[in-house]
Amino acid sequence: MRKFFKRNLPSAATVKQNRWLRPFGAWLHHPNLWHLHRRSVAGGMATGLFCGLVPGPLQMISAALLAVLFRVNLPVALITTLYTNPFTIVPLYLLAYKIGAWLSGVHSGVTVVVPPFPELHWHDLAGKMWGWMVALGEPFLIGLPVLAASLAAAGYIVVRVMWRIAVIHRWRARIQRRVI
């Protein structure tokens, strides 16, 4: 697994030499952002899975900011956000809505009232529109962070377990080579 990442991810030297990233050099030179060890890769995976559900084009930006903040593997965090694409985003958002509806109890007879649009005035337009979007999107606003946190926790655990299994397998293979 480590060889795969080393082969396919950019090195710290490549990033340092990039003229577009030089202004951010002070933040991008922490060793954990580039080293491939189980905590950094698992944290990068969790960060990428969490930020992959951020609506809009802010997924990679938020993944990069959180990776730098938490000092986890930056390339893994950025690449992991790509699990959301035009084919997967709709089912994931529907799942988030269903989780939010289940948690908030929206299906228990609660109805959403649509504001009377012709009566909106400029002075209270923003407040009423925000209230309407929150009322419509309450299940989504609840379900999305819950789904993102669940995916992040599951990704973190899976990477840690798979890394451990790979290490144990290599240990056993090394012991077998010594015995023979």
pLDDT in tens, 150-178: 999 999 999 999 999 999 999 999 998 88
Confidence (pLDDT) at 93: 84
Least confident of 13-27, 39-53, 138-152: 13-27
User: What rounded mean pLDDT belongs to the chain?
Assistant: 80
Instruction: Name the more confident of 2 and 77.
Output: 77
Domain ranges in the chain?
Answer: 2-179
Q: Kindly indicate the confidence band of residue 106, based on its pLDDT and cuts at 50, 70 and 90.
A: confident
Confidence (pLDDT) at 158: 96
Q: Supply the Cα-derived Rg of the chain in whole angstroms.
A: 22
